[in-house]
Amino acid sequence: MWTRRRAQNGGDPFAHEREGMVDRQIAARGVRDPRVLDAMRATPRHRFVPERAREFAYDDRPLEIGHSQTISQPYIVAFMTELLEPGPDDHVLEIGTGSGYQTAVLAHLVKRVTTIERVAPLAEAARNRLADLGYCNVAVHAGDGTRGRPEDAPYDGILVTAAGPRVPDSLRAQLADGGRLVCPVGPRETQRLVKVTRHGDRFDELASIGCVFVPLLGEEGWHA
């Protein structure tokens, strides 16, 4: 059985900043799900950014994490998570592990997270970081996320943290009936978040807010 050992926040010097981040940047902009807000309060974002950027960890912006990748703006992480509608018994696939921050937020909310990162050094660093923080319901893999991970499918939710020209067909196919997928879709310069809900052989799509993400590279995404 997959379990998560909650990280201890006693003596956390960033606790006040994190609370302010949730109140001013996230709840004030309309994210209402109390489980998502609690997960954002519980996840130490400063542990998922380079040490040189820790003083900016709770600012309202993305931050570079190396290898031409970023950790997303806190509001976007919360908004995408709420849009996904994660349930406590869900198995969620994340495409684009990055530093592991979105992974950790999801780990507070679901039974199991499988996450795939294209850049092998980032995958290894995220795996070690998540283990050090006590997240035991996460499996990190290096590879082409556009193809998903069919051996662990179906997934109740799929969250894609890079932008593709369209939703990869492989990811649609790996959604469980009733499952939800959230993905930034559009040209490289600017995109919209798209939510896909599967109903048998039918896939309903809902376009949401505009956004800008790094490109989703791979067989069913952009080619470098």
Tell the burial category of 194 from Cβ atoms under 10 Å away from its Cβ (0-12, 13-18, 19+).
buried
Among residues 17, 22, 20, the alpha carbon closest in space to that of 75 is found at 22
8 A C-beta contact, residue 93 and residue 117: no
* 7 assigned to some structural domain: no
Annotated catalytic residue: which of 68, 72, 99, 170? 72
Q: What is the DSSP secondary structure assignment for residue 56, as one 8-state letter?
A: G
Summarised one tens digit per residue, pLDDT across range 22-73 is: 999 999 999 999 999 999 999 999 999 999 999 999 999 999 999 989 999 9
Summarised one tens digit per residue, pLDDT across range 194-217 is: 999 999 999 999 999 999 999 999
State how beta strands 112-117 and 91-95 pair: parallel
* 60 assigned to some structural domain: yes
Summarised one tens digit per residue, pLDDT across range 131-155 is: 999 999 999 999 999 999 999 999 9
Total tally of structural domains belonging to the chain? 1
* pLDDT at res. 161: 97
Is the pLDDT reported for residue 2 higher than 80?
no
* 136 assigned to some structural domain: yes
* 120 assigned to some structural domain: yes
Is 72 an annotated catalytic residue? yes
* 49 assigned to some structural domain: yes
DSSP states of 69-88: EEEPPHHHHHHHHHHH---T
* 80 assigned to some structural domain: yes
* pLDDT at res. 10: 52
Q: Which amino acid is at 118?
A: R
Cα angle: 92, vertex 87, 219; to 5 degrees: 20
Beta bridge partners of 184: 193
Give the CATH number for residue 135: 3.40.50.150
Instruction: Tell me how crowded residue 38 is: count the other CB atoms within 10 A of its CB.
Output: 13
* 218 assigned to some structural domain: no
Give the global pTM: 0.93
* 2 assigned to some structural domain: no
Rounded distance, CA 30 to CA 60, Å?
15
Confidence of residue 12 (pLDDT cuts 50, 70, 90): confident
Domain of 120 in residue numbering reads as 15-211
- Percentage of the chain beyond pLDDT 70 is 95
Is the pLDDT reported for residue 9 higher than 90?
no
